[in-house]
Structure 1
C-alpha cells in the first residue's frame, strides 16, 4: 500500500525479500516473482464478491478470519495483532461490507476505528479503486488533527501488507501547495473539516465525483454548531450516490442531521444502548465539591500524591492550560508536565502527543482537543478541573482511560453551584458517579506562591489575567444555565487564587442591564430605522459619532498575518485590560472614537486666524469655558509642564474631574523617611549591565574599601580635633571658675562681717546666679581618679602634652619613669 502525507510518498508493498544467495539478486527477477497475474486477481475478486453477497448479517462472527476479507487485509490485521472482533465490529463490519449506511454508537475504547477502516479497504479493493486514474474513493473526516493522525496510523498498519491504495493525511499545518500536488493522486484521504473544505474550493484538480464512501468519526462533534457550515459545504461537493457511515460514543439520531448527509435507510447500531452505564465498567468515577478558588490547591495536592501515575487534566480554555502549566512548572511538582491546546503549532502538538504516549508517568494539561477518540496508552487518571459543558463531553473526556477493558479512574471538580444541575445531566445519560471528600490535612495551599510569582514576573501575571478572562467567558457562553450560574461564582476569590491582585475588568460583565433589556425588547422597525438613519449621529456635544450598527471592514489573511504576535510578547489588548492601572496613558481620557483615529482623519478644525492665547492658570472653582464661542484655550495646570488645550466641549469637561486631571500632570517622586527623620527617595537596585561596565566585582570591592578607608581616616581626624577642642574649653572654664572663687574669698575677708557685708554678699551671689554657663558647669560629684590619671591631668593643666590614645599614654609613662 502506498501512503502520501502531503508531498511525501512511501512505497511499502515492494520491499525485497532476503535470500540465502551470496551474489545479489537481480531486481528484475525479484519483481517478477512478486508480481501477480491479472487473471488471479479477477478470480479472487469474483470469489470475494460472492462471499460478501452470501454473508449473513444475522450470524455473529467472533474473529476477522470468519469474515470475507482479502488476503492483504487479513495479513495487515494479523501483523498488527488484531484477531478478535469487538461488539461494535461484529455488527458494523458485515453491514458495511454490503454497502449499507450506518449509524454506529459504542462506548469509548471499543474499537470503532477498525469498524469503518476495514470496510473502507475492502469495498475499494473489490471495486479496484486503485491508482491516480481511479480518483478519490473514500473520505474519512475527524474533528481534530490528533484524531485524524491516529486514524491514519491505524490505516497504515492494516494496509501495509499488499494494498496498493494511495492514502493521504490532510489536516493543515503545512503549505497548501504541497498538499495540492499530492491530493490529486489519493484514493483514501483522512482529513479535518476545515482543511478539506479549503481544498474542495481552491484545488482545481481535486475531483470527488467518484467518491464511494464517506466516514465521519465522532459524528456528534462534527455535526454540532462548530462544524455545521463546513460539513454542509463539504456535502454539497460530494455525489449523492455514496455509502455514508457515522461513528461516535454518543451518536446523534436527529432527522435534520441525517437529512443533511443524505443517508439512505441507515442501520442504527448501538451495542451498549441497553447497558446500565454509558461508560466502561472498569472505570471508577468520582466527583469532589471544590469551590473555584480552591481548584488549583486541590489539583496541586492531587499531583503531589500521584507522582507515579499517568494523568490527563482537562481545562476549559487554552489560556488556562498555559497558565497552569507555566506556574506548576516553576513550582516543580516532581512529575513531568506537558500541555496541549489548539493554539499550538502542528509540530509541537505531534511531539507532545508522542512524548505523552511513550511516558510511564506524566501529567498532560489539555483542552477538549484531545477529549475525543485519542488513544493514549495506559492512562491512570482523568481529572476534570473545569466542569464539562454537557454529559456527552464528560463521557468523551473520561474515555481517555479504561480503554479496551483496562482499569481507570476519573475525578470531576464541581463548584457547589454546579452540583445539582450536572448530576441530573449525568443521571439522564446513565453515568454512575460517587462523591468523595478531600482530606484537609493533605491539602496544600499554593496561593502565596502564585502571588509571589505573579508579583515577580509581569508576563506570568498577564497569563493569569488572560486565563481568568477566558474562564469567565467560557462560563458566560454556556447554554445550560441550570449548571453554569455566573452570578453564583466567587470571581474575586478566584482571581486571588490565581495570584492576581484583583479581578480584571471584563466588558460583558460591565454591560448595563437596562441597555441590554432595551435592545432586546426593541422592535424590528426601530432597529431598521436606526440603521437607515445613517452611519454617523450627532451626540449631545455636537460631534460626530460612528454608528454601532456599522459593519466592520473586511480583513484579509495578510492583515491577520501582520497583526500576529508571539505568545510570549504582551499583546495590544493587555493595555485595555489594565487601562485603569496606568495613570500616564492619555488615551484613557478619550472616547473610543478619539483613540481609534486613522492617519489624517480630521476630527476637529481650528481656524488659522485664531492664535492660541497665553496659558492661563486654572484656579479651583472656575466655570467651564465655552469653547464654541471663544475658540480653543490653553490652561496651565499646577504641576504640568505643557498647557492643556481645550478645543472641544469634551475636553472642557476634564476640568471637573480631579482624577482625570492628574494624568496630565507630572508624576511625583515617592519619598521615604529613615530612622532619623530624613527624607530621601526609594533605594533601587542597580542594573546589572551598568554594574559590570564599571569593572570586575573584585576590583570594585578593592576600590570601595580604599575609598571608605580614606573617608574613615578623614572623619576620624575631624572627630579627634572636635574632642580636643571640647577638652580645652572645659579646662579653660574650670580655671576661670577657680580664679573667680579665689577673688570672691579675698573680697569677703577685706570687707568683714556686718549687715552691710551680708547685703553685699547677697547682691554678689544674686549677680553670679544669672550666669547660665556657670550654672551649667556647676561642680558635680566626680569619680575617684586612677593613680595614673592624676599626674596626667596635672601635666595637661600645666600645658603639657595631652593623652589621646594608648600609645600616647605609654609614651608619657616612659617619659615620667625615665
Structure 2
C-alpha cells in the first residue's frame, strides 16, 4: 500500500525540531543583548558607528540595506540612553537624523521584550503633528525594520475607513499616528487595548504640546499606562515644567547636541531677508521664480486660501516651471500625490502652508522662500530646515514688511539665527498687478479666491499674539487688495466688530455729542440754518429714548427709523453673499407678514409700505423687488422664484465672424426689392426646392437599390456555403435513414414539408434566383402555376404512403420505370 502523501516537503518532526532550535537561538541572542545593554556606558562612552551599539541582527541588516553606518550627534547621545530605558528630551537642528534616534530604540526595546504578534498587544505609539510627517516616519520604520523583524506596524492618520483601521489596530505592535485620529480610536474602538504600552514617542514635541493639540494630547495620556518610556524629539524642544508633568516623565534626560552651537540652523544654510512692502510681495515672488526656473523652490504662505490664490494666478501666467500647492484642506490622496511629485522632481515650485514646515524631508531643495512672516522664531527655524539637510547646502529668503523688520530680527537674534539683509534689483523686478487685475476681471472665481486670500491674511495678522511684529494698523490693506487684482478691499467682520466694541466702551457723553453734531450739520445743510452753540436742556427721558444698543439692536433700530425704502443694487453672482448677510440677522422679533389696514397705501407688489422696507434691483428684472419682511427676503435665496420677476431672454446665434444675431432676423427691405417681386421670388424658391427634392429622391433610390443588391449577394453567398458544408451521410440511396425522433417516413415527410415551405417562400420573395428550381417527383403543375402535392405516388396508389414498406414499394416502382 502506498504511503499517505501529506504535501509537506519535510517531515513535521524535523520542522518542529528546527523551530525549537531557532527559538532557543533567539532566546540566546536576546539574553546576550540584555547583557550588552546592561553593560553599556550611555553617558561617558563615545559612539561613532552603528556597529559599536548592541543592536539585533534584523536591525543591523536594515541599517546596512539603507546604507546607514555613521551615527549623527543626536543619534550617538540619544540611542544609548533610550536603549537603557530612560525618558529623553531630544533637541537637535533640522536634518540631523532625529527619526532614527527614536525608531532604533523602539525596534530594539520591543525586540528584547518579545512584543511580537497580536497576543502581545500594542508596544509602541509614535505621534506626529501632521499626516505627511507620519507617513515619512512609517516609511523609514518599514525600510529599517523590514529586514527580519516580525513586528506588525500600522499607520493611523485618517483618510481611510474607520472600520478597516479598527480591524487592523487589534493586531498592531507599533502604530504611527496623528493625535486626532488615535484619540478617536481610543475612545470608540472597543478592542483597542493600550494597557501594555511600553514606549510613547512624540516627534515635533513642541508642536504637539502646543495649544493646537493640547486637549487631544491630554486625553490620549489619560488612556495610556503611567509606567512607560517616553521620548520627545524636536528641533526646538520644550522645557516647560507643565508640559513635562502632563506626560508623566520620570527623570528625563535632556539631550541637546547643538545647544552650545553658535547658530540654531545648519551650517550650510545661507539665510537672507529683504524689505518688501506688503503690496509688492507678489511682484517680488514672481520675479524670483522667473530668475530661478532651474531650481527646486519651496514657498511658504500663511493660509491655505493664499496658497490657492497664488497657485491659480501663477498657473494662468505660466512661469515656465512646474507649480504645485499643498495645504491642510486638501484630501489625503491629493496631499500624498503632491508630496511624492515634489520629492521626485528636479525643478519645481511648491506653494505650501506650515503643514510641511516640520520634519518633512524633501530631497535637494535649493530655496526656501517665506513670503509671509512666520509667527515666531521657532516656526522660522522649522521652515528653513526643509533645505540644507544632512550637511548639504541651501538658501533661504524671508520677505519682511517694513513694520515687521525690527520685531522679527530681535526674535531671530534671541534664537541665534544669523541672517543678512539683501536688496532686490529694481531692473529685474517685474510687476504683475495689471495681469492679476485683468484675470480677476475676467474670471469671477479667481476674484473670489483673491477676496478669500485677503481676508484670511488679515485674519492671520489679527490673531497673532506678538503685536510688536504683527500690527494690523500699520499695514497698507487697500494697496494690498489692489496688488491681488481686487477692485477694493473686502469688508471684514472682525475689524468692524472691533470698532463697534471700541465705540460701545467709549463714554456715553462723547458719543452722544458726536451724533448731535452730525445731526446738526445735516440739518443746517438741509434747511440753511446755522448751528447754535447753546445746548438745550435734556431730561433723562430724552436720553432714554435716544439710547441704542450698539451691538445687537442697532441694525433693527436703523431700519425702523428710516423713512424711505433703501434701494440696493444686487448682482446675481453675489446672491450668496447677500443671503449670508440675511441669515446673519439675529433680531429678536421680525416681520413675517403685513396685513394692510383700510385706507393704508400699498406698494407696487400689493403690500403696504413699511418704514423699514427696501427695494432690491436684480439684473434682468423689470422692476425692483420690494423687501419688507422675512417672507419677502426668502425670494432672494431662490433663483427659480426670481425668474418670474425677470424679462424673457432672446436666443441668439453666431455667424462665422463671431457676430451675434437673432434666430429670425428680417432682411433689409432694399435688398429684398432688388431680388424682384415677391411672387417671382416665391416661384423661384419653389422651383429650386422641387429640383433639390427630386435630386435627393434619386439619390435615395440609388442607395436603396445598392442596399438590396448587397443583401442579395450576401444571401447567395450564405446559401453557397451551406450547400458546401452539408453532410453527405444524411441521405442514403434516396431513402432517409432512421433517426432518433420518429420513423424514417416521418422524417421524409417533414423534409418534404420544409422544402415545400421554402419553395413557397422563395416564390414570394422578390430576390428569387434567375434559374428555375427542378420540381420534386411528388409535385405536379397546376393551371394556376402553383405546385400541389400528389395524393398518389405510383401506379395503383391513391393515398400517401404510411409505412416504410409502402415507401419501398413506391421506390421500386419508380426504379422499374427507369
TM bracket, shorter-chain basis:
0.5 to 0.7
SS of aligned partner of 1:511:
helix
**Alignment counterpart, residue 37 of structure 1, candidates 13, 22, 31:** 22
Partner Cα separation in structure 2 for residue 359 and residue 591 of structure 1? 43
Give the equivalent residue in structure 1 for 2:279: 293
Residue 189 of structure 1 aligns to a residue in which SS? Answer: strand
* 1:8-87 → structure 2 map (5 Å cutoff): 26=9, 37-57=22-42, 58-87=44-73
Distance 1:33 1:494, change over 3 A: farther
- Residue in structure 2 matched with residue 272 of structure 1 by the alignment: 258
Would you say the 8 A contact 1:545–1:593 is kept in 2? no
* Counterparts of residues 728-807 of structure 1 (less than 5 Å): none
- Distance verdict in 2 for CA 1:702–1:351, change over 3 Å: closer
1:119 maps to 105
Q: What is the distance in 2 between the residues matched to 1:516 and 1:698?
A: 61
Query: Against the structure 1 CA distance between its residues 424 and 61, is the aligned structure 2 distance closer, same or farther, given a 3 Å change threshold?
Result: same
Q: Tell me how many residue pairs correspond in the alignment.
A: 596
Q: Per-residue deviation at 1:540?
A: 7.6
Contiguous gaps of at least 5 residues in structure 2: 1-6, 509-543, 554-566, 624-648, 677-818
* Contact persistence 1:546–1:593 (CA under 8 A): no
| 8 Å CA contact retained: 2:77, 2:255 | yes
Q: 1:254 aligns with which of 240, 243, 255?
A: 240
**What's the counterpart of residue 652 of structure 1?**
611
Q: Unpaired segments of 5 or more residues in structure 1?
A: 1-23, 523-538, 549-578, 615-632, 655-659, 670-686, 718-818
Q: Give, in whole Å, the separation in 2 of the partners of 1:589 and 1:324.
A: 27
CA distance in 1, matches of 2:84, 2:662: 93
In 2, are the aligned partners of 1:417 and 1:483 still within 8 Å (CA)?
yes
**1:645 positional shift:** 2.8
The partner residue of 1:145 within 131, 135, 147 is: 131
1:582, 1:701 → 2: CA distance? 27
Instruction: Provide the C-alpha distance between the structure 1 equivalents of 2:506 and 2:82, rounded to a whole number of angstroms.
Output: 50
Q: Where does residue 769 of structure 1 map in the other structure?
A: none
Structure 2 residue 141 is the aligned partner of structure 1 residue 155: yes
Match of 2:89 among 94, 103, 108: 103
Flag the 1:543–1:415 CA change in 2: closer, same or farther, 3 A.
closer
Show the 5 A alignment for 1:594-673. Answer: 603-604=590-591, 611-613=596-598, 633-636=600-603, 641-643=604-606, 645-646=608-609, 651-654=610-613, 660-661=614-615, 663=617
Query: Superposition pairs for residues 443-482 of structure 1, below 5 Å?
Result: 443-482=429-468
Give the Å deviation of 1:513. 3.6
CA RMSD of aligned residues (A): 3.9
> In the superposition, relative to structure 1, how do residues 521 and 430 fare at CA in structure 2: closer, same or farther (>3 Å)?
farther
- Deviation at 1:509? 1.3
Instruction: State the 1:635 CA deviation.
Output: 3.5
Q: Is 1:582 matched with 2:545?
A: no
Question: Does 1:405 find its partner at 2:391?
Answer: yes
Partner residue in 2 for 1:394: 380
- What is aligned with 2:521? none
Residue number in structure 1 paired with 2:501 = 515
Equivalent in 159, 169, 174 of residue 183 of structure 1? 169
Cα distance in 2 for residues equivalent to 1:106 and 1:479: 26
CA 1:688/1:457 → structure 2, altered by over 3 Å: closer, same or farther? farther
- Matched with 2:653 is 691
CA distance in 2, matches of 1:238, 1:521: 55
- State the Cα distance separating 1:511 from its structure 2 match: 2.3
Given candidates 218, 229, 253, the residue that maps to 1:243 is 229
Is the 1:280–1:405 Cα contact (8 Å) retained in structure 2? yes
Q: Give CA-to-partner distance per residue, 1:578-604, whole Å, 9 cap, x none.
A: x98627899999997886689xx9844
Report deviation, 1:510: 1.3
1:728 aligned residue: none
Distance across 2 between alignment mates of 1:328 and 1:581: 33
Shift, 1:411, TM fit: 0.1
SS at match of 2:497: coil
Q: TM-score, normalised by structure 1?
A: 0.67
Corresponding residue number in structure 2 for 1:744: none
Report the CA distance shift for 1:352/1:664 in structure 2 as closer, same or farther (over 3 A).
Answer: closer
Asked if 2 retains the 8 angstrom alpha-carbon contact of 1:586 and 1:664, the reply is no
Aligned to 1:683: none
Q: Give the 3-state SS of the residue equivalent to 2:403 in structure 1.
A: coil
1:139-160 per-residue CA deviation (whole Å, 9 max, x = no partner) reads 0000000000000000000001
- Per the alignment, in what secondary structure is the counterpart of residue 312 of structure 1? strand
Q: Are the counterparts in 1 of residues 652 and 662 from structure 2 also a CA contact under 8 Å?
A: no
CA contact (8 A) 1:329 1:337 kept: yes
> SS of the residue aligned with 2:427?
coil
CA contact (8 A) 1:168 1:188 kept: yes
Separation (CA, whole Å) in 2 of partners of 1:289 and 1:310: 23
Q: Which residue of 2 aligns with 1:806?
A: none
Residue 273 of structure 2 contacts residue 399 of structure 2 at CA under 8 Å; is this kept in 1? yes
Q: Which digits, 9 at most, give the CA deviation of each residue in 1:169-207, with x for residues without a partner?
A: 000011111101100110000000000000000001000
Within-5 A mapping of 1:202-601: 202-511=188-497, 513=499, 515-516=501-502, 582=570
Shift of 1:310: 0.4
Contact 1:634 1:643 in 2 (8 A): no
CA distance in 2, matches of 1:464, 1:278: 36
Work out whether 1:167 is the aligned partner of 2:153: yes
Paired residues of 2:568 and 2:615 also in contact (CA < 8 A): no
Q: Deviations over 1:87-139 (max 9, x none)?
A: 00000000000000000000000000000000000000000011111110000
Q: Match of 1:382, SS?
A: strand
Q: Deviations over 1:222-261 (max 9, x none)?
A: 0010000100000011000000010000000000000000
Q: Secondary structure in 2 aligned to 1:691?
A: strand
Report the alpha carbon displacement of residue 52 of structure 1 after superposing the two structures with TM.
0.2
Q: Which secondary structure does the structure 1 equivalent of 2:653 belong to?
A: helix
Q: 1:86 to 1:397 in 2, by over 3 A?
A: same
Query: Can you list the C-alpha shifts for 1:265-311, whole angstroms capped at 9, x where unaligned?
Result: 10001000000000001000000111010011000000000001000
Distance in 2 (alpha carbons) for counterparts of 1:587 and 1:311: 38
* Pair 1:314–1:664, CA change in 2 (3 A): closer
Report the Cα offset of residue 613 of structure 1.
4.3
- Per-residue deviation, 1:691: 2.6
Q: Given the alignment, which residue of 142, 164, 182 partners 1:196? A: 182
**d(CA) in 1 for partners of 2:96, 2:226:** 30
